[in-house]
A and B are shown apart, each in its own frame.
Chain A
Amino acid sequence: MSLRRQCYEWRNISDGVKTSFLNGYPVNSVGDVNTTGFLANQPVDIFIGDVGNNIDIPGQLKAFQYVVLDSIAVFPPTLHAQIYVGTTKYFQDPDNVPSRSGGISGFIVPFPNGARWVDSAGGVTNIVNTDYTDGLKPAVIIAPGQVWGVQVTSSFDIASVTNTATEQQIQKCFVKYLLIDGGDAIVARRLLDAGWPLTVENIWKYKQDILKTHLYAGLAPLPTEVVKAKRKV
């Protein structure tokens, strides 16, 4: 399974004991849904930020892996998401400083698409993603050995909720990416060297071309010395 469509989903839900929950999601029930709060304008790493579900280490690619990060979404709309690869952040302001608001907001990429939102005046709306329906174009390509992650930043302070958190009170972030590993990572490298976009279709096409080239090679006339050589059998 060398080309796999992967995803990672973060919520600020905790088990009510610690602020984060490692390598999985906490079990909830009615009257036992806890969320961890965080401050406004303070980026929180969705992998290792110690808020909500986390993993042990940041995303880091092995020598035979590529990641094509092509979609990101957040909720509520006042939450923003910023992708980083190494020390470089994806979204930046026109003065070339990393986005001060924290990246792309849930008003643009709501999760799920069409999510119901109750604003501060009590108005209810469904927010739809129309600008990034195909995800990030071009996608973010993360090369072997690079460290990557996603940070979320809220425009307002998010308070912790003990036991009574509802769907609307949960902060969420969703990342979708194509994981290329094994032999396909070599193909990916060749495509990148040639300046081609890393897509499933291009990887397939490149592999077809390799096979076709081998077929042609098999049909080519043999060298004269081989043709004239004495048969041993």
Chain B
Amino acid sequence: MAIRKQIYTWELNGDGGDGTDITHYPRAGESHSIFYGDFGNVQAGKQTGFVKEDQFIVIEKMASKPGISANSYTVEGIAPNVNLTKWLPNMFVNIVIDTTNYYQDPQNVYGVGVSGTASPYPREIQEQPYYDLWPPIYVLPFQTIDIRYTLYNDITLSAGAGVWNIIPTTTMLAAVYVEYTLYDGTDAMMAQKLMRLGIPVTVGTVENYRRLLLENKGLETDTFKHYLALMESERKREEKERNNQGLARYNDYTSQD
């Protein structure tokens, strides 16, 4: 399994209490990791993401729970059993590779990232995304990766308003979703080779490169001539294409003589 489409989700649910436990709910305005932070369902080992020497990662999608206003919550039940059933976290997500933040604001200062309203998870009909992570992000061997969220609606402060008694464990308060492709083993080597050649690293290009290598297996002494012929034919094809498109220049015509 050398190329695998991976997902990672982080969720923060209620604790069954009233929402005042600061060990369970992150404070607003602080950024925390979805991998090793102190809140939500982080990895048991609490380690940051690390790309091993035989791995190559392409991050393709990142989303979080949408919603802005803390006043647009939903409760059910009668006191003293009023349950919070819907909460808008007003959250942003950022990617950090080694020590570099991916997102910056228009004045070239690190920003808080992309909001759940722009890139929502879970995705609903009335919340279609405007943001897509294109081009994708390459994470190279020996680099560390962290994905950090910041909530701007404070749950513990809101609990003080007394509009609910219980935040059930079934109520999802915040969530982050990450989708990436993991190349490992020989596929990671091919991914690196493609990246150095300036070719986009996708499942298609890596598989194509593997096919090329297998086709040429065993040629050895003839390999050079074979590649030369391949490139020559490619050059001719491109020249022909340029002629057809009307893009050919003087040099193109003289090279055909």
Query: B207 within 8 Å of A by Cβ?
Result: no
**Is the Cβ of A47 less than 8 Å from the Cβ of B130?**
no
Least CB distance from B241 to A in Å reads: 13
Query: B133 within 8 Å of A by Cβ?
Result: yes
**Is the Cβ of B108 less than 8 Å from the Cβ of A28?**
no
Q: Produce 1/0 per residue, B130-143, CB < 8 A to A.
A: 11111101000000
**Is the Cβ of A71 less than 8 Å from the Cβ of B154?**
no
- Chain B residue at minimal CB-CB distance from A13: B68
Interface residues of A in 122-163 (CB under 8 A from B): 126, 128-129, 148-149
Query: B67 within 8 Å of A by Cβ?
Result: yes
Q: How far is the CA of A116 from the CA of B117 in the complex (A)?
A: 13
Contact of A112 among B69, B117, B235 (CB under 8 A): B117
Contacts of A62 in B (CB 8 A): 108
Most buried by B among A8, A23, A27, A129: A27
Most buried by B among A25, A129, A208: A25
Q: Produce 1/0 per residue, B117-139, CB < 8 A to A.
A: 11010001111111111110100
**Is the Cβ of A204 less than 8 Å from the Cβ of B157?**
no
**Is the Cβ of A112 less than 8 Å from the Cβ of B130?**
yes
Interface residues of B in 41-70 (CB under 8 A from A): 66-70
Contact of A29 among B132, B133, B153 (CB under 8 A): B153
Query: A63 within 8 Å of B by Cβ?
Result: no
Least CB distance from B252 to A in Å reads: 14
Query: A58 within 8 Å of B by Cβ?
Result: yes
Q: Produce 1/0 per residue, A105-129, CB < 8 A to B.
A: 0000001111110000000001011
Given the known A-B contacts A58-B106, A204-B200, are A112 and B127 also in contact in the complex, defined by CB atoms under 8 Å? yes
Least CB distance from A194 to B in Å reads: 10
Contact of B112 among A24, A56, A216 (CB under 8 A): A24
**Is the Cβ of B69 less than 8 Å from the Cβ of A57?**
no
Query: A50 within 8 Å of B by Cβ?
Result: no
Contact of A33 among B70, B131, B133 (CB under 8 A): B70
Question: Which of B9-17, B95-103, B178-186, B213-221 touches A?
Answer: B95-103
**Is the Cβ of A25 less than 8 Å from the Cβ of B152?**
yes
**Is the Cβ of B69 less than 8 Å from the Cβ of A29?**
no
Interface residues of A in 1-58 (CB under 8 A from B): 1, 3-9, 11, 13, 23-33, 47, 55-58
4 tightest Cβ-Cβ pairs between the two chains A and B: A59-B106, A113-B128, A29-B157, A30-B158
Known: A32-B157, A59-B106, A112-B127. 5 other contacts (CB 8 A): A29-B28, A111-B117, A112-B126, A166-B69, A212-B231
Pairs across A and B, CB under 8 Å, 10 listed: A1-B97, A4-B104, A30-B157, A32-B70, A59-B107, A62-B108, A148-B106, A165-B69, A172-B117, A208-B198
